[in-house]
Structure 1
C-alpha cells in the first residue's frame, strides 16, 4: 500500500485541492483512498474540514482527522492556546 504525503508551509496554497486531485486520480485507477488530516485548525467542531472537502472534490475516499483546534494558527500553537494535546 503506497503512502503519499502532501505538505506545505503556508495556508491557502493548494494542499487540499492537490490532495483531492491525487485522490481522484487514484480512485479513477481503481485504488481505494484514505485521506488523513493530522491537525485541522480554524474550524469549529460542527464545520466541514479539509478532509471533508477532499471527499466533496474527489469522491468516495475515507476521510480521517486526528485533532481539531479552534484557532486558525499553526497546529502546535493552536493546541497550546486551546489547552489541548498537540499531534505528535
Structure 2
C-alpha cells in the first residue's frame, strides 16, 4: 500500500486541489483511495473541511480528519492558541497505517 504525502508551506497553495487530482488519478486507475487530513485549521466544527473537498472533487474516497482547530494558523500554533492538544507524528502514522 503506497502512501503519498502532499504538503505545502502556506495556505491557498494548492494542497487540497493537488490531493484531489492525485486521488482522482488513482481512482481512475482502479485503486482505492483514503485521504487523511491530520489537522484541519480555520474551519468551524460544522463546516466542511479539506478532506470533504477532496472527496467532492475526486469522487469515492475514504476520508479521515484527526484534529480540527478554529484559527487558520499552522496546526501546532492553532492547537496552542485554542488550548488543545496538537496532533503528534505517531498519531498520524498510526492513522495512516
Q: TM-score range by the shorter chain?
A: over 0.9
- Inter-partner Cα distance in structure 2 for 1:76 and 1:5: 18
Q: What displacement does 1:14 show?
A: 0.3
What does 1:1-88 align with in structure 2 at a 5 Å threshold?
A: 1-88=1-88
Partner in structure 1 of residue 91 of structure 2: none
C-alpha RMSD of the superposition = 0.4
Structure with bigger helix share is 2
Residue 55 of structure 1: CA displacement? 0.3
CA distance in 2, matches of 1:76, 1:85: 9
Supply the distance in 2 between the matched residues of 1:79 and 1:17 (Cα, whole angstroms).
24
* 1:43 CA drift (Å): 0.1
Q: Deviations over 1:25-82 (max 9, x none)?
A: 0000000000000000000000000000000000000010000000111101100111
Superposition deviation, residue 87 in structure 1: 0.6
SS in 1 for 2:78: helix
TM-score (norm 1): 0.99
